[in-house]
Amino acid sequence: MKNILITGGAGFIGSHVVRRFVKKYNNYTIYNLDALTYAGNLENLRDIEQEPNYRFIKGDIVDQGFIDNLFSEHRFDGVVHLAAESHVDRSITDPLAFVKTNILGTVNLLNAAKKIWAGKEDGQRFYHVSTDEVYGSLGPNGLFTETTAYDPNSPYSASKASSDHFVRAYGETYGLPYVISNCSNNYGPNHFPEKLIPLFINNVIHNKSLPVYGDGKYTRDWLYVEDHAAAIDLVFHKGKNGETYNIGGFNEWQNIDLIKLLCRLMDQKLDRPEGTSEKLISYVKDRPGHDLRYAIDASKINRELGWKPSVTFEEGLAKTIDWYLDNQEWLNHVTSGAYQEYYENQYKGG
């Protein structure tokens, strides 16, 4: 029996990782540590909360004493670290929250792992889940590889880049066994509707405008969240210590083309005349420091670990839309209260 800590397991990607690990690995006890910020939601895990190998712990990774006690009590054999402040727009208005959770929180976890793993070499592993945004912005050509120099542009990506560096430094300096992955944009069920795809699905459902930043030409690579969870499972178990793996969908879209595809699919699902949802598009003031293009070269994880995405973008989007239409109660819960105030501030005039 192994004790595995997953941080941020009540969030979007973390909930898929927790579910996968709980169901697949009966020989693990999975501890889901989450502070339940606005982005964390235990409704994401209702179907597995009674499983005998699952435990939820509410707590803040920024609290060093709490983290130290937790590690000495449970003697974790592995850590999959996803807890983070994750929204670029919020990092522009409150960078310090990102410094605290993403940098300080990660260093607290590293220190606690280092302490309980000292002198042991028994398959322990610290896995840091990170983003392709650490690499900065691409021009019209080229792809981010594992050796691309870090060049973060937003407070969010700067905080993730910093935490990646700390993880590496703990490997080099103290011999901490670690692995890192940097993934492109995820989409799918349980995604908080401040991010593009769930925001637009929710707005189309409610006939609200679809705020497109700048000229809509920003380009991102998109990956279905369950494919990311499968890649995380593989990297955690089969990745080499001290390595980084880029994860992506081989699936680049300009925002405006993606939005038009989403609008077409929503018209079909909602049985509305074609073109109805597209009329909701409205261009809003650009995000400062907006990166033009991200694109991932995921050939290393494909070649070395045999991973590739399992669904096409059209299949993944259709599944995602169906999930949001079937889970409107979830949407109503997460978009009540504080969300309304955030939304009004973020898109005023949009």
Active site residue ranges: 132-133, 156
Distance between start and end Cα atoms, the chain: 53
Considering the complex, state which of residue 43 and residue 51 has its C-beta at the smaller distance from ligand NAD: 43
Query: Site for ligand NAD (CB under 6 A): which residue of 183, 229, 232, 301?
Result: 183
Query: Site for ligand NAD (CB under 6 A): which residue of 29, 32, 91, 101?
Result: 101
Q: Nearest residue to ligand NAD, using CB?
A: 11
Q: Which residues, at least 6 apart from 16, have a Cβ–Cβ distance to it below 8 Å? A: 188, 189, 190, 225, 226, 228, 229
Q: Which residues, at least 6 apart from 336, have a Cβ–Cβ distance to it below 8 Å? A: none
Least separation in angstroms between CB 13 and ligand NAD: 4
Backbone φ and ψ for 237, nearest 5 degrees, come out as -90, -30
Query: Site for ligand NAD (CB under 6 A): which residue of 5, 13, 79, 158?
Result: 13
- Looking only at residues 38 through 67 of this chain, which bind ligand NAD when binding is defined by CB under 6 A? 39-40, 60-62
- Looking only at residues 266 through 305 of this chain, which bind ligand NAD when binding is defined by CB under 6 A? none
Interface stretch with ligand NAD, choices 29-37, 47-55, 263-271, 286-294 (CB under 6 A): 29-37
Return left, alpha or beta for 220; rule: phi > 0 is left, psi -120 to 50 is alpha, else beta. Answer: beta
Separation of alpha carbons 135 and 155, rounded Å: 13
Nearest to 87 by CA among 101, 67, 73, 72: 101
Separation of alpha carbons 279 and 173, rounded Å: 56
Least separation in angstroms between CB 171 and ligand NAD: 18
Interface stretch with ligand NAD, choices 79-87, 135-143, 212-220, 304-312 (CB under 6 A): 79-87
Interface stretch with ligand NAD, choices 64-72, 82-90, 260-268, 320-328 (CB under 6 A): 82-90
Considering the complex, state which of residue 62 and residue 204 has its C-beta at the smaller distance from ligand NAD: 62
Separation of alpha carbons 132 and 182, rounded Å: 5
88 touches ligand NAD (CB under 6 A): no
Site string for ligand NAD, 135-174 (x = CB under 6 A): -------------------------x--------------
Q: In angstroms, how far apart are the furthest CA atoms of the chain?
A: 66
Least separation in angstroms between CB 136 and ligand NAD: 15
Tally of CB atoms within 10 A around 214 = 15
Q: Which residues, at least 6 apart from 282, have a Cβ–Cβ distance to it below 8 Å? A: 209, 210, 211, 212, 350
By the criterion CB under 6 A, which residues form the site for ligand NAD? 8, 10-14, 34-37, 39-40, 60-62, 82-86, 101, 105, 129-131, 160, 183, 185-186, 192
